Amino acid sequence: MNDLIKLLSIKKPIIQAPMAGGAVTPSLASAVSSAGGLGSLASGYLHPDAVETQLLEMKQQTDRPFQVNLFVPKEEEAPSGEQVQRWKELIPHANRARPFTSIQEEWQDFYQKVDLLVEHRVRICSFTFDLPPEDAVKKLKDVGCILLGTACSPEEALLMEERGMDAVVLQGKEAGGHQGAFLPASKPVELRALITETADRIGIPVIAAGGITDEKDVRKALALGAQCVQVGTAFLVCKESAAHHVHKQKIFTASASDTRLTKVFSGKEARGIVNAWMEENKHREQDVLPYPYLNTLTKPMRQEAATRNDPSHMSLWAGQGAGRLSKEMNVKELMEKLWNSKGT
Ligand SMILES: Cc1cc2nc3c(=O)[nH]c(=O)nc-3n(C[C@H](O)[C@H](O)[C@H](O)COP(=O)(O)O)c2cc1C
């Protein structure tokens, strides 16, 4: 049993990735926790009241540890009116988009969620998209909460350690969904190189994320120096996941080369299965509106496509392990596939 498994009070070195956008429900996350892994709720895009409802459900469904993930707001330079107008003309249904949220509103949402975690004594909290602010770190640590940060480079991992994180999720470029990188110089790196370059430079445990779908992958990551793995796409296609059935089906039939990193859905780099929207806007990758502006404008388009079961304009987030996922399992079966060994 390694330090991180002990710290998190789990039985298997498996963390179900927090996945904002609807796939993660308390029944998915609690099934992971009950099977000896760490289930994760994703608070991104959810109103604090909805997070509280999920927290209460989670506590009813499992007495095992779980974590809640928070998006750390990041102030970006606002795009010009002209740039916004250009994208509005390109994006179907953009006229139905809600007004942009201000950075003040985003911080208010963040701190409301921090207060909720404190109030409900959530044992583990993770962050993505930036370093969490020092006052939030203090508030959570004062009630004994274990903190996990996300990094995509050794430099980011060092900053996470300095900020007081208890462990760091190293997210490789194979990972599905958004990259959590926050330093402008960070470029997506393969997981293997990222762990090798980082593990010896930091004093906190490493969690490996990106393209992991079976026990062989888990063992490789542990052999490189990680103490746990964080798995997203493989849980997204589980029976208990609330991901759209078209999204699941696309993952079952995709190969690794069918996925690509793109900014044209949200303004931030994320890996998904290539579809018409990505292809049509390939030449605009360098000219996107920053996150969350573009994300706000494409939301009605993505929702409309989901309602019509049309994958051409949905964000089909998936990691490079998609090519090795071909049938729906329940969480218990996937947990066995990821870690079948007795003891750790
Ligand atoms: C649909 C989807 C949504 C995600 N949302 C979040 C999130 O809310 N917070 C977060 O820290 N990571 C998020 N991620 C990234 C995961 O934490 C993790 O790095 C990634 O899933 C690992 O790669 P894999 O999908 O190949 O297993 C998301 C990933 C996916 C596929």
- Buried b / exposed e along 121-155 (16+ C-beta atoms within 10 A): ebbbbbbbbbbbbeebbebbeeeebbbbbbbbbbe
Closest ligand 1 atom to residue 243 Cα is: 1
Assess if residue 77 is contained within a domain: yes
Q: What is the pLDDT of residues 208-236, one digit of tens each?
A: 999 999 999 999 999 999 999 999 999 99
Assess if residue 329 is contained within a domain: yes
Instruction: Say if residues 142 and 127 touch (Cβ distance below 8 Å).
Output: no
pLDDT above 80 (res 341): no
Mutate which of 32, 113, 148, 178 to test ligand 1's pocket (most atoms within 8 Å of Cβ)?
A: 178
319: Cβ below 6 Å to ligand 1? yes
Split at pLDDT 50, 70, 90, the class of 20 is: very high
Write out the H or E segment, with its range, that includes residue 15: strand 14-16
The pLDDT score that the predictor gives to residue 162 is: 98
Across the strands, what pairs with 40?
Answer: 67
pLDDT above 60 (res 116): yes
DSSP letter at 204?
Answer: S
The fraction of the chain above a pLDDT of 70, given in percent, is: 99
Average pLDDT, the chain: 97
pLDDT above 70 (res 121): yes
Q: Give the pair of three-digit tokens for residue 256.
A: 């690794």
Sign of the four-CA dihedral 53, 56, 62, 66: positive
Q: What is the pLDDT of residues 171-206, one digit of tens each?
A: 999 999 999 999 999 999 999 999 999 999 999 999
Number of structural domains in the chain: 1
For β-strands 146-151 and 124-128, DSSP reports them as parallel
Closest ligand 1 atom to residue 213 Cα is: 27
Q: Whose CA is nearest to atom 4 of ligand 1?
A: 19
Assess if residue 98 is contained within a domain: yes
The pLDDT score that the predictor gives to residue 344 is: 52
The fraction of the chain above a pLDDT of 90, given in percent, is: 97
The pLDDT score that the predictor gives to residue 342 is: 61
The pLDDT score that the predictor gives to residue 2 is: 87
Mean pLDDT in residue range 266-290 = 97
Assess if residue 344 is contained within a domain: no
Assess if residue 228 is contained within a domain: yes
Nearest of 310, 305, 319 to residue 258 by alpha carbon:
319
Q: How far apart are the first and last CA of the chain?
A: 5
Q: What is the pLDDT of residues 141-175, one digit of tens each?
A: 999 999 999 999 999 999 999 999 999 999 999 99
Assess if residue 164 is contained within a domain: yes
Q: Give the range of the structural domain holding residue 114, as residue numbers without chain letter.
A: 3-338
Tell me, in angstroms, the distance from the centre of ligand 1 to residue 82's CA: 32
For β-strands 146-151 and 167-171, DSSP reports them as parallel
20: Cβ below 6 Å to ligand 1? yes
Q: What is the pLDDT of residues 307-319, one digit of tens each?
A: 999 999 999 999 9
177: Cβ below 6 Å to ligand 1? yes
Assess if residue 280 is contained within a domain: yes
Q: What CATH number does the domain containing 40 carry?
A: 3.20.20.70
Q: What is the pLDDT of residues 32-63, one digit of tens each?
A: 999 999 999 999 999 999 999 999 999 999 99
Mutate which of 14, 19, 338 to test ligand 1's pocket (most atoms within 8 Å of Cβ)?
A: 19
Assess if residue 184 is contained within a domain: yes
Tell me, in angstroms, the distance from the centre of ligand 1 to residue 231's CA: 8
